[in-house]
Structure 1
Amino acid sequence: MIIERAYAHLSSPEEEAWPWAVPCVRQFLDEGLRFTAPVTFLVGENGSGKSTLVEALAEGFGLDPYGGSHDWRYASPRGKSVLGERMRFDAAPGRGRRMATSWSARKGFFLRAETALDALGREGFAPDHVSHGEGFLAAFRGKFLHAGLYVLDEPEAALSFSSCLELIGHIHRLAKEGGQVICATHSPLLTALPGADIVEVGEHGMRRATWRDLGVVDHWRRYLDDPHAYLRHIVEP
């Protein structure tokens, strides 16, 4: 692992202002977030704040907030977010300690679903003549190679079922080789990775959960069992 805990301090946040009004951000300011496994999934509805957290974590580690690797820090015109500017880390022993104290030793990649291929292109890594999903997979195969901090924001967006399974394999390999992955996702496939820590984000703030107890897993299970039970409230006969 690279980091054991992330935290941020703010003397007097405006409680009604974004992002401080988001429940998970308020809890993060109060308690921080401890990482207990090499792979952590943040799961929650749209607007729950999970992407806000992972973007700030990437920024705090020095990854380009637009998306990209540590070597391309701030290659885009975007600056740090108000939460990213305040992000601090407690390093894990060994490799994590070295990366925390030496800027040049830091390795990693921030993958945002909406900017991934453009960010890869700026780094000279944009495979031609492939689909969006294949481009994502090429990134995983070509950029997720070394131990470091890999922050992912909904990487499943462009991936099929089988491609998600391949991504799980890449994530598992990184974890075994000393890397650390923090991933915001809606995917019940990804979150089923054995040994991963799952943090459910919502109006309650943040809480640890098992895969079987996740709301998204329950909804998918019910929907696949009987789609009409959901669609009857949405689609007029």
Structure 2
Amino acid sequence: MIYLEKINGIDLEGIEEDDYLIDIPAIKNFKEMTFEKSVTFFVGENGTGKSTLLEGIAISLGFNPEGGSKNFNFATNDTHSELGNLMNINRGIIRERDGFFLRAESFYNVASEIDELDKLGNSGFMNYYGGKSLHKQSHGESFRSIINNRFSGNGIYILDEPESALSPTSQMSLLCIINNLVKRNSQFIIATHSPILLAYPESDIYEFSEEGIKKTEYKLTDTYSITKSFLDNPERMIHLLFDE
């Protein structure tokens, strides 16, 4: 099920010349992006714009900039860009019934908001997140609690670097969860540095660079090739890195 079908363009007219969005090649030179698969990945070096574009997509779809579901309405530090309001997007005929924006950067703030909403007396609210405060779990456990308990299917899930809290084994478990949710009519858009997550079959991968954005294949990504080169011969790579 594809709920977000296409970004037709980004209108940067009227943006201030010193706005940082103009300095990101992936944003400045953006033409269009189609979403034809149930799982789409954004990959690339830090600063190439993948998380910025992901945040813009989330906002344009009605999610809170800091993360959470569409009914989360809080702000601890309003630093998000106006990109979400500049996108021209096409949505599918059928609208999703569920959704969540999970981002590592502001996960602490989302966990705090969940605690506050639970204190307000929303009956059974915490059960949607595993029945236990996310602050009383490890970072990885709290991520898994949200994904395992809150993601119910028939939804669009936007994940920003979920691997930051997950061990390699947990990342493989996440692949299984994603696959099960895809079978239940879900769509995922994920920004990641994880070669494990990128291996999800029949997905689209967009690689961000100083040249812009291009669609690519798993084994052609820098994420795959650099990781493979290191693991194939770590001693040699360490030698090269340390210039010994």
- Shorter-chain TM-score bucket reads 0.7 to 0.9
The 3-state SS of whatever aligns with 1:66 is: coil
Aligned to 1:112: 103
* Shift in Å, 1:227: 1.2
Aligned to 1:60: 60
Any idea what the Cα deviations from partners look like across 1:139-169, whole Å, max 9, x if unmatched?
A: 1011111322211110000100110011111
Which amino acid in structure 2 is aligned with residue 210 of structure 1? E
1:172 equivalent among 162, 169, 179: 179
Which amino acid in structure 1 is aligned with residue 29 of structure 2? Q
Check conservation: 2:5, 2:90, Cα contact below 8 A.
yes
Aligned to 2:5: 4
What is the alpha-carbon distance in structure 2 between the residues aligned to residue 135 and residue 235 of structure 1? 36
Aligned to 2:51: 51
Check conservation: 2:66, 2:106, Cα contact below 8 A.
yes
Which amino acid in structure 2 is aligned with residue 2 of structure 1? Y
Check conservation: 2:76, 2:109, Cα contact below 8 A.
no
Aligned to 2:222: 215
Check conservation: 2:195, 2:224, Cα contact below 8 A.
yes
What is the alpha-carbon distance in structure 2 between the residues aligned to residue 205 and residue 215 of structure 1? 15
The 3-state SS of whatever aligns with 2:51 is: helix
- The total of aligned residue pairs comes to 226
Q: Does the C-alpha gap of structure 1 residues 16 and 117 become closer, same or farther in structure 2, counting only changes over 3 Å?
A: closer
Aligned to 1:84: 84
What is the alpha-carbon distance in structure 2 between the residues aligned to residue 40 and residue 76 of structure 1? 29
Aligned to 1:227: 234
Aligned to 2:209: 202
Which amino acid in structure 2 is aligned with residue 43 of structure 1? V
Tell me the TM-score normalised to structure 2 length: 0.85
The 3-state SS of whatever aligns with 2:242 is: coil
Which amino acid in structure 2 is aligned with residue 109 of structure 1? F
Aligned to 1:69: 69
The 3-state SS of whatever aligns with 1:183 is: strand
What is the alpha-carbon distance in structure 1 between the residues aligned to residue 149 and residue 208 of structure 2? 31
Any idea what the Cα deviations from partners look like across 1:46-71, whole Å, max 9, x if unmatched?
A: 11110100011111111111111111
* Shift in Å, 1:194: 0.6
* Shift in Å, 1:79: 6.9
Percent identical among aligned pairs is 35
Tell me the TM-score normalised to structure 1 length: 0.87
Aligned to 1:143: 150
Aligned to 2:170: 163
Aligned to 1:22: 24
* Shift in Å, 1:45: 0.6
What is the alpha-carbon distance in structure 1 between the residues aligned to residue 138 and residue 55 of structure 2? 26
Q: Does the C-alpha gap of structure 1 residues 218 and 236 become closer, same or farther in structure 2, counting only changes over 3 Å?
A: closer
Which amino acid in structure 2 is aligned with residue 155 of structure 1? P
What is the alpha-carbon distance in structure 1 between the residues aligned to residue 197 and residue 103 of structure 2? 16
In structure 2, runs of 5+ residues without a counterpart are: 116-128
* Shift in Å, 1:128: 5.5
* Shift in Å, 1:38: 1.1
What is the alpha-carbon distance in structure 2 between the residues aligned to residue 84 and residue 121 of structure 1? 24
What is the alpha-carbon distance in structure 1 between the residues aligned to residue 63 and residue 44 of structure 2? 23
Which amino acid in structure 2 is aligned with residue 63 of structure 1? F
What is the alpha-carbon distance in structure 2 between the residues aligned to residue 234 and residue 139 of structure 1? 38
In structure 1, runs of 5+ residues without a counterpart are: 100-104
What is the alpha-carbon distance in structure 1 between the residues aligned to residue 230 and residue 43 of structure 2? 18
User: What do you get for the CA RMSD once the two structures are aligned?
Assistant: 2.1
What is the alpha-carbon distance in structure 2 between the residues aligned to residue 108 and residue 75 of structure 1? 19
The 3-state SS of whatever aligns with 1:122 is: helix
